[in-house]
Amino acid sequence: VASATPAEEAHGPRRVKVPDIFREKNPLEMAARQMCVPDPNWPQNADVQWRIIALARGLGLPMPRPFRAPYMPGITVLIPHYGESILMMTKELFQDGGRKGELPLMHWLKHTYESEYAAFTSRMQARSEGWPVAGSDWGEYTKAQWDKMNSWASMRMQTLWRTVAGMCLYHPALQCHFEAQADRSSSLARPDVWDPSECFRCLVSMQMYKFFDQTQIDHTNQMFEKLPDCLKVAFIDCQGKGRAANEDSVHPRQRRRYFSCLIDKTSDSFPNRSRVPKLRIELPGYPILGDGKGDNQNHAIPFMRGPFSQCIDANQGAYFEQMLFLPCALGEFRSRYRGDPQSKRIVGFPEHITSDIGSIGDFAASAEVAFGTILQRTYSALGARMHYGHPDIMNKVFMMQQGGVSKATKTLNLSEDIFAGMDFTLRGQGRTIHHQEYFHLAKGRDLGFNTVLGFFSKLASGTGEQVITRQAFRLGQILPLPEALTFYYAHVGYYFTQYLVSMSLPLLAFVWLLVVSSDCEGSFDAFLSCSVGGRSAAEIMAGLLGIWFSWLLLLFLVASSLPLFVEVWSERSFKTAALRFVKQICTLSPLLFIFQGKIIGHYVTNELRYGGATYVSTGRGLPTERRPFVGEAHGGKGFKLKKVGGLYLDYAAIAYYDGAMLLVGTLLIAFSGGVSGAGAARGQLNWIFFSLGLTIISWLFAPFIFNPYQFEATRFWEDLRCLTAFFMEDGGRHWVEWYNRTQLRKGSGRSVVDIVFFLGAFFIVAWYAMMNVKIQALGQIFAAYSKDQLFELNVLMLMPPFICSMAYCVVAMALERIMGCYGAIRRLRRRPRRSGAAFLDLEAGAPGVADGAEVEEAEAREVHVAERDRAVKPAADPQGAGGESGCRCCLFGMPLAISAVCVLLLDIVEAAVALYRFTHVGWWRAFVAGLMLKWGISCLLLHLGEGVLRSQVFERCGRFGLVLDLWVRAHRMARDILTSVLILVALTPLVLINMLNDYLTPGLSLHHLLIYRNPNHLSKREAIVHACQWDVPEQPGAPQPKA
């Protein structure tokens, strides 16, 4: 607060009163303020707190001498955009008549930014008398009022509007520098000469601008109108070849001519309000040759201004006080002398994660802080920082000499960011990528379970491709050993470690069960030599596992979170760090990270085995809608699906199958005496069972635990209806189509025999070696057996249970053919195949239109294509699909689900009959081992059968192919039936608990407390209010009511 006379203001210094926030405080007072008595002068808004702390910390860090306005080098912020949200729309924030019980996104934004929303409504009411005091009655707002709220919400969501608005803050920040310390003696400092737009440009590369709809065009024009004139938009235009194609040497097979175009707010407009390009550069052909993002960045490089560039994602933001550090950040590139070979080319900066909303958002934000700030700081010191990151500033002239700011080879450069750093290290003549801490940009991360895992699946697939690139090969050759080890740990090693960790417990359970099953049986032990020093195998394994898994497991769990804990402690306070750590543990963060490790391991190994990585677009909005189990049902009480897609279908092949097998293996260990036979060492097994339980719960139930409204009784009943329809409707065609798209996809790089076959062979050899000892001992017990009978016993016990199930498949297919039925498998084979060439039109510029068969054929060439929700179409008439004419006794034949149950029961009976001799002598461990051996051989045969179905040989198998197809699909459907029923049965108690919670405390949801960390969200109940008789004014001549 200034207190000075007019003379002092004109000629001398002024006396001001320093706000208390700038008063120096000793450590004792700071500790008391943080732990006991809150500071009344400290703002309560967490974002404002971080901004003040970051500004104060940045001013105290070493930084280079800044450039002085107007002698400022040019810099361009490049923002690639494809289809991300530009501006939030009303239908995204609120839908009138939405599902009962679900709260709109606007409600969650109002709650999360409550003080900011209150300030917003206060401003609106002060500016406009018609602004209603409607609160959360969103249906009462008009369209003009919703336009205001859309802008407010867009600045708090991960939209292009927020990103561009934040980046354009460079413009007033540079103007502020000019007004504060410009060289007034320079001719550039004269009025109307220097403009910040001359040294700064915000360039948005909108790849699909030509194909925008009217809403997207209007949103783009709003950005031009609201933001400074430094905003430019580059896009790819196309037109016909024209008559001058031959003279211009256009390739004969090129269907169109393509141009990089530039528009701004001064460009003229077409009738649909899209802008007329001011600059056009013809391209040598179709420019999008890779996965899109890298090409989208590189084609806009000619429109950049200045020697420096900053590549920003469309989910970032900025703060004005941080933009003031730009002259210092540019000063990092100042050379000591002309041609300095050690001058910096890439300077890295940290990110401030703003999407820590809810449990999943907080988990993702913590992981991003650990990677984007803590680890990058460490890698820079160790000389292995490759990921240039999105706040990083690059020397554009130098980067253009190595192929652009991003590599754009399709599939190989899926993670396009890191290759800029790798190429820089290879060609930088000893330079390293520097990392500074004084300058920050905001960053939004994923907020939902599916979107977080989709992002990591893209990273893992990109890492699998990165391993086989020439950049990784050359870096492994030229880097010194410390830097090479750091490079491995920072990139590929992390993903490989996730795979090894996720496979360690199943492998340990396999060895444990193998060792326990080979132990003495308790009867006829004289024929077995299985004891070691008088200790049983179960006791030996318990002692070993007790050493490996102890209370130190908790120390490792805490140690993995320690860097983030110390970072938050140093930035904020010990109390804040401790509360954040406790909240993450209490909201089940281990379940997410265990499941995330499984996803990473699956995608990185599949990429190395099959290839075919694709770009995965993730939505970064707050998840407020429930994802179904397998799909959405039609209204009414029937078992009909209208849409296929859900949590079970998303992760069945990735985690649920392995989780179910691990659960069964743990139960077999207990059944075989792994716990009861451990003796005194039984107490040492608590920690291994804790690890097994945590892994099983994560792999089977984590997606459902973090799914909003998962445990509501009405929706759980709808999941049961949908699951029944998924397996039973139209003979099981929904499951057959899903299985073809995901697990039996042809042309995906999978062969008949791959690494899984050899791993299965190792599994069979291990169990056979143990079972052979048991069978030989059984032959000694029953000495009356001849050699031929003993050989028959060996064959019977080792033969997989497939005879009865295969015979059933032969009979079922014969009956279908005799009766003229068309089951799901015969319908599938009679469907005409179409080529996907018309669908994958690379030069069309816009997505093509194709039917379901063409889409499936196109997706068949992709390995990691994301499974999308699909609307259900009516089943085609087999006669219309080329079927034979004649009387039809049934339409869909034998339901595949019935065949699945039948083959499962037949396999169990056949295996039990073959192994009954072990139960006859009381050798239950041998019985379990025999079941495991038969199960392993059956899985190997099914894997080979799937390889045959994918191959070209299957097309020539004729009727035998139908039998094999039915046998494979019936077993795979049986696996899905068992796994899905297991998950739903296990979730039933949680549904009952949720019902009890809704009955006792309807306004305090424990599930919302877990997901959103706030239980006080309940949709408002509507009531009809009738006007009272005495409130209605009397009308002359109106009849009076009777008394």
pLDDT value for 878: 54
Buried b / exposed e over 842-868, threshold 16 CB at 10 Å, is eeebeeeebeeebbbbbbbeebbbbbe
Of 779 and 271, the structure prediction assigns the larger pLDDT to 271
For the ranges 461-470, 659-668, 709-718, the lowest mean pLDDT is seen at 461-470
Summarize the confidence of residues 946-974 as an average pLDDT.
Answer: 82
C-alpha triplet 814, 819, 820: angle, nearest 5°: 100
Higher-scoring residue by pLDDT: 471, 956:
471
For the CA atoms of 549, 552, 553, 559, the dihedral, rounded to the nearest 10 degrees, stands at: -150
Q: Where is average pLDDT lowest: 140-144, 453-457, 736-740, 886-890?
A: 886-890
Output the pLDDT for position 668: 93
Task: Choose among 156, 141, 167: nearest CA to 78.
Answer: 167
pLDDT at 856 over 60: no
Q: Give the angle 300-306-312 at the CA atoms, nearest 5°.
A: 50
Residue, of 765 and 774, whose pLDDT is higher: 765
Instruction: Categorize the per-residue pLDDT at 657 as very low, low, confident or very high, splitting at 50, 70 and 90.
Output: very high
Q: One-letter amino acid identity for 630?
A: V
pLDDT at 594 over 60: yes
SS (H, E, C) 403-454: CCCCCCCCCCCCCHHHHHHHHHHHHCCCCCCEECCCCCEEECCCCCHHHHHH
Q: Where are the alpha helices (DSSP H) in 273-345?
A: 293-298, 320-323, 326-331
Kindly report, residue by residue over 384-404, the tens digit of the pLDDT: 888 766 788 998 888 887 767
- HEC per residue, 150-163: HHHHHCCCCCHHHH
The single-letter DSSP state of residue 2 is B
Tell whether the model's pLDDT for residue 958 goes beyond 80: no
At residue 1027, the pLDDT reads 59
389 in Cβ contact with 417 (< 8 Å): yes
Q: How far is CA 1006 from CA 113, 204, 259, 751, 996, in A?
A: 22, 43, 55, 48, 11
pLDDT tens for each residue of 468-490: 888 889 988 888 888 888 888 88
Closest listed residue to residue 748, CA positions, set 889, 582, 860, 651? 860
Residue 992, both tokens = 């009952």
Task: Please report the sign of the dihedral spanned by the C-alpha atoms of residue 781, residue 782, residue 788, residue 794.
Answer: negative
Q: Among 88-92, 890-894, 1019-1023, name the one with the lowest average pLDDT.
A: 1019-1023
What gap in Å lies between CA 281 and CA 262, rounded to an integer? 9
pLDDT per residue as tens digits for the range 496-512: 999 999 999 999 999 99
Phi, psi of 641 (to 5 degrees): -100, 140
pTM over 0.75, yes/no: yes
Q: In this predicted structure, which of 343-352, 623-632, 1026-1035 has the lowest mean pLDDT?
A: 1026-1035
Is-contact 79 167, C-beta < 8 A? yes
**Residue 266: helix, strand or coil by DSSP?**
coil
pLDDT over threshold 70, residue 688: yes
- Give the pLDDT of residue 203: 95
Res 866 pLDDT > 60? no
304 φ/ψ angles, rounded to the nearest 5 degrees:
-75, 155
Q: Name the helix (H) or strand (E) containing 256.
A: strand 256-263
At position 169, the amino acid (one-letter code) is L
Residue 9's alpha-carbon distances to 3, 179, 895, in angstroms, are 9, 19, 91
945-955: average pLDDT: 79
pLDDT at 303: 93
d(CA 256, CA 458): 32
The predicted structure's pLDDT at residue 345: 86
User: What is the Cα–Cα distance from 481 to 898, expressed in whole angstroms?
Assistant: 60
For 348, the enclosing helix (H) or strand (E) is: strand 346-348
For residue 152, give the amino acid letter.
Answer: W
Residue 380 in contact with residue 348, Cβ under 8 Å?
Answer: yes
Q: pLDDT band for 883, please (50, 70, 90 cuts).
A: very low
pLDDT band at 381 (very low <50, low <70, confident <90, very high): confident
Range with lowest mean pLDDT among 25-34, 53-62, 724-733? 25-34
Higher-pLDDT residue of 216, 519: 216
Residue 21 pLDDT class (50, 70, 90 cuts): confident
Q: Is the dihedral of CA 115, 119, 120, 125 positive or negative?
A: positive
> Cα 732 to the chain's mean position, in Å?
29
Asked if pLDDT for residue 698 goes beyond 90, the answer is yes
pLDDT in tens, 985-1031: 999 999 999 999 988 888 788 888 888 887 765 555 555 666 555 55
The predicted structure's pLDDT at residue 36: 78
Distance CA 158, CA 163 (A): 8
